[in-house]
Structures are given as structure tokens and as C-alpha cells.
């Protein structure tokens, strides 16, 4: 389980060899073996003993943004949690044709999952605009195939910047078409017209931002557990300086899970205006309030607990994220011997 502290004044410390949390409502203790990660937001505190116990037990400890749920900083044991070869090879892999081939497949998985989400709502979308829906699906699938099959042509120069721009263009085209169809599914009163990051200007984008933030945390933890460096990426290597950019690469195929949750919440009518707030009345930025966060967290956790058939087995989606990171780590351990992703 993850221990998530976001109540102002909550204090994490150690009592009798166990983690203890003190809040206004009382105290609660947790054995180290119960915890897979500890997440804290601004306004909470912990003792050095708690940090040391987390390090000794190899429990990742993340400081996360209270509004977005995205990781801001991490603490670790300082001990090697992976073979040095993994991270040495990761540095080479991130600027190699094999690295971009991996990213192409990751982006292809995302676009294919987006297309599948739209297919599940085909009846409503065809009623809204049958020709536009079919054209969007056709273009998205073309982009997915192109990215899936990408490899450096024989004799071609390998120029990462140019390849990255091409990938972003293809992904951007698919994303634009996808969110046009998502907009057709939503009540116009929500004001959703297109995808935007932070700050969100409408409730649906605020839901998406929070759901993606939760996914970032899950992906970041999966990378740490696998011994990968979250700050060493392929596609996002030259963007978002100082941030865990490999999380931005690996999250891509899982984004449609957060999209599905946002759609379910929006379509259910459970979230209303009081579930959102503007920190500054003079600005347009919109954030989830406490009640909205609670609904989004419950829905995202339920989504991550859902099982899918994968390789002849049914696996929880949270496990699928871990396995994707482990798969990359195993490949990188032997990278240079085969040089095939």
C-alpha cells in the first residue's frame, strides 16, 4: 500500500520500529512491510528517524504536489538498488536508434489505446459526426502503425532532435484528433474544447491533470523499483529540465486509463462546481478541491486495481506499470550485447 499524507499538520515519525502518523484526529501506525511507498505534500512533516527507516527498508519516499499529485522530489537510501550497468547502458540507450524505436512503440501503444477508448463509445460519436469519427480513427491508426514500425533507415544519419520532432508531430496529430472526439462526448457546459496542461481552464482538463499526476507517481515509483533513473529519458530528454523525464516517456501508454476515469466522472455528474476552485480569482487556473480530489483518487485507484488479460494472464493495471518498467530494466542490463529492444 501507499501511505499518502496530505492533511495540513500531519506528522510522520517512528514508534517502536514502526511508522506512526499523528494528525488532529489521532494517531495510526504502520509496519514497514505494509508500505510500498510514502507520499507527502506541503504542509506535512516527518522526522529524520522516519526518513532513515524508509531508507533502511528501501521504501521510496516522494514529495508530491498537492494539486496535481505529481512527484516533485524523492529520497532514497543512497545504496545501489540496481546494477551500475543498467544506468550506464540507459545513458547510451536514450540517445540511440534503439531508444527511439522503444519510444515509437510506447507512443503507438498509447494511440491504439486511445482509439480503443473511442471505439467503446462509437454509437454516440457516430451520431455526433460519423464521417469525422471514422476519419479520426483512420488517421490515429495510421500514426500508430508508423510509430510502431519505426526504425532508422539503412545508411541514414541518426539525428535525435529531428526524429524526436517527427515523433512529437505524429503524436500531436493523433492527440488533437482524439481530444476533438472526446469533446464531442462531453456536455458543452463543461467548456472542454481541447487538451491543455497546467493550469486547466475547465473542469475536464482539471480532472485529466490530476489523473495524469497520479499516473506519474505510479510510473516514477515503478522506475525506482526497477533501478532505472527517472531523470534520463529518450523523447523528453531535452525538455522539462530537472524533472523525471523518463516518467514522461513511460507514462504514455497508460494515459488513456486516466482519460477513462475523467470521462466516467464527467458523465456521471458526480462532480459539480464546488468540487473545483480557483486559487486566484483574477486568474483562470482551475484545480480540484478536496471533495473533487477524493472522488478522483477513489476512481483512479479503482482503475489501477482493474485487471486486464496480458500474455495469457490477468494482471492488475498497477502491476502492468511495474512490469513495463522491469521489462525496460532487464533489456538495459544486457544492452550492448544484443542492441535490440
Give the domain CATH number at 322.
1.20.120.920
Tell me whether residue 77 is in a domain: no
25 and 142: one domain? Answer: no
Tell me whether residue 79 is in a domain: no
* pLDDT > 60? residue 81: no
Write the pLDDT tens digit of every residue in 299-323. Answer: 999 999 999 998 888 999 999 999 9
Q: What pLDDT is recorded for position 34?
A: 81
46 and 114: one domain? Answer: no
Place of cell 482524439: 178
Using DSSP's 3-state secondary structure scheme, residue 243 falls into coil
Bigger pLDDT: 65 or 220?
A: 220
* pLDDT > 50? residue 341: no
Tell me whether residue 78 is in a domain: no
Q: How far apart are CA 286 and CA 295, in angstroms?
A: 16
Q: What pLDDT is recorded for position 82?
A: 54
Q: What share of the chain has pLDDT > 70, as a percent?
A: 93
Is the omega angle on the peptide bond into residue 244 within 30 degrees of 0, that is, cis?
Answer: no
Q: What pLDDT is recorded for position 241?
A: 60
What cell does 183 get?
A: 469533446
* pLDDT > 50? residue 173: yes
Query: What average pLDDT does the segment 241-246 reach?
Result: 78
Tell me whether residue 340 is in a domain: no
* pLDDT, mean over the chain: 88
Q: What share of the chain has pLDDT > 90, as a percent?
A: 54
Q: Residue 278: how many CA atoms within 13 Å on its side-chain side? A: 10
Q: What pLDDT is recorded for position 284?
A: 72
Residue 11, phi-psi category: left (phi > 0), alpha (psi -120 to 50), beta (remainder): beta
Q: How far apart are CA 232 and CA 238, in angstroms?
A: 10
DSSP category for residue 34: G
161 and 310: one domain? Answer: yes
The answer to whether 230 and 224 have CB atoms below 8 angstroms apart is yes
Crossing angle of helices 317-333 and 84-93, in 10° steps, is: 90
What are the residue ranges of helices labelled H in 18-159?
48-56, 84-93, 97-119, 122-148
37 and 107: one domain? Answer: no
Task: Tell me the C-alpha to C-alpha distance, in Å, between residue 79 and each of 75, 196, 215.
Answer: 12, 39, 26
Tell me whether residue 189 is in a domain: yes
Tell me whether residue 201 is in a domain: yes
The last residue of one of the domains, among 59, 75, 108, is 59
What cell does 271 get?
A: 462532480
For the CA atoms of 114, 119, 125, 126, the dihedral, rounded to the nearest 10 degrees, stands at: 140
Query: What average pLDDT does the segment 203-208 reach?
Result: 92
193 and 312: one domain? Answer: yes
Q: How far apart are CA 241 and CA 46, in angstroms?
A: 28
What cell does 47 get?
A: 522526522
* pLDDT > 90? residue 225: no
Tell me whether residue 67 is in a domain: no
Q: How many domains does the chain have?
A: 2
Q: What pLDDT is recorded for position 259?
A: 97
114 and 33: one domain? Answer: no
Write the pLDDT tens digit of every residue in 97-113. Answer: 999 999 999 999 999 99
Q: What pLDDT is recorded for position 282?
A: 60
Q: What pLDDT is recorded for position 76?
A: 63
Specify the DSSP element, H or E, that contains 46.
strand 45-46
Bridge partner list, 40: 5, 63
- Select from 235, 249, 317, 262 the least CA-distant residue to 110: 249
134 and 251: one domain? Answer: yes
* pLDDT > 80? residue 246: yes
Write the pLDDT tens digit of every residue in 121-156. Answer: 999 999 989 999 999 999 999 999 999 999 999 999
19 and 119: one domain? Answer: no
Q: How far apart are CA 275 and CA 207, in angstroms?
A: 11
Q: What pLDDT is recorded for position 337?
A: 58
Give the Cα-Cα-Cα angle 57, 58, 64 (nearest 5 degrees).
115
List, as one string, the DSSP characters of 218-235: HHHHHHHHHT--TT--ST
255 and 191: one domain? Answer: yes
Q: What pLDDT is recorded for position 154?
A: 92
Q: How far apart are CA 219 and CA 154, in angstroms?
A: 34
Write the pLDDT tens digit of every residue in 19-69. Answer: 999 988 888 899 988 888 888 888 899 999 988 888 888 788 888 887 777
Q: What pLDDT is recorded for position 49?
A: 92
132 and 234: one domain? Answer: yes
- Select from 87, 148, 289, 325 the least CA-distant residue to 207: 289
25 and 168: one domain? Answer: no
50 and 89: one domain? Answer: no
Tell me whether residue 69 is in a domain: no
Q: How many C-beta atoms lie closer than 10 Å to residue 57's C-beta?
A: 13
Q: How far apart are CA 136 and CA 115, in angstroms?
A: 9
Enclosing domain of residue 262? 84-333
Q: How many C-beta atoms lie closer than 10 Å to residue 305's C-beta?
A: 11
Q: Residue 117: how many CA atoms within 13 Å on its side-chain side? A: 25
Q: What is the largest CA-CA distance in the chain?
A: 67
Q: How far apart are CA 257 and CA 296, in angstroms?
A: 12
CATH of the domain at 19: 3.100.10.20
Bigger pLDDT: 109 or 76?
A: 109
* pLDDT > 90? residue 219: yes
Q: How far apart are CA 300 and CA 215, in angstroms?
A: 9
Amino acid at each position: 500500500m501507499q501511505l499518502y499524507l496530505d492533511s495540513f499538520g500531519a506528522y510522520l515519525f517512528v514508534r517502536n520500529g514502526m511508522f506512526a502518523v499523528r494528525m488532529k484526529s489521532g494517531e495510526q501506525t504502520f509496519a514497514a512491510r505494509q508500505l510500498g511507498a510514502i507520499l507527502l505534500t506541503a504542509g506535512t512533516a516527518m522526522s529524520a528517524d522516519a526518513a532513515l527507516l524508509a531508507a533502511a527498508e528501501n521504501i521510496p519516499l516522494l514529495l508530491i504536489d498537492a494539486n496535481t499529485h505529481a512527484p516533485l522530489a524523492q529520497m532514497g537510501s543512497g545504496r545501489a538498488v540496481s546494477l551500475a550497468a543498467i544506468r550506464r547502458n540507459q545513458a547510451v540507450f536514450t540517445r540511440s536508434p534503439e531508444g527511439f524505436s522503444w519510444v515509437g512503440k510506447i507512443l503507438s501503444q498509447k494511440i491504439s489505446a486511445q482509439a480503443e477508448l473511442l471505439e467503446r463509445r462509437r454509437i454516440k460519436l457516430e451520431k455526433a459526426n460519423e464521417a469525422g469519427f471514422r476519419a479520426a480513427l483512420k488517421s490515429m491508426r495510421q500514426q500508430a502503425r508508423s510509430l510502431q514500425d519505426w526504425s532508422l533507415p539503412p545508411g541514414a544519419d541518426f539525428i535525435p532532435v529531428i526524429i524526436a520532432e517527427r515523433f512529437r508531430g505524429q503524436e500531436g496529430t493523433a492527440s488533437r484528433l482524439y481530444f476533438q472526439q472526446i469533446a464531442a462526448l462531453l456536455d458543452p457546459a463543461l467548456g472542454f474544447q481541447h487538451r491543455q496542461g497546467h493550469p486547466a481552464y475547465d473542469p475536464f482538463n482539471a480532472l485529466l491533470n490530476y489523473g495524469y499526476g497520479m499516473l506519474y507517481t505510479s510510473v516514477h515509483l515503478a522506475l525506482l523499483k526497477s533501478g532505472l533513473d527517472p531523470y534520463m529519458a529518450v523523447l523528453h530528454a531535452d525538455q522539462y529540465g530537472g524533472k523525471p523525464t523518463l516518467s514522461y516517456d513511460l507514462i504514455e501508454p497508460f494515459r488513456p486509463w486516466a482519460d477513462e476515469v475523467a470521462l466516467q466522472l464527467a458523465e456521471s455528474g458526480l462532480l459539480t462546481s464546488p468540487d473545483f476552485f480557483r486559487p486566484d480569482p483574477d486568474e483562470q487556473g482551475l484545480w480540484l478541491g478536496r471533495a473533487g480530489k477524493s472522488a478522483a483518487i477513489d476512481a483512479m485507484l479503482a482503475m489501477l486495481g482493474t485487471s486486464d488479460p496480458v500474455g495469457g494472464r490477468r494482471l492488475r493495471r498497477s502491476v502492468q506499470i511495474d512490469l513495463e518498467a522491469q521489462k525496460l530494466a532487464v533489456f538495459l542490463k544486457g544492452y550492448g550485447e544484443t542492441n535490440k529492444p
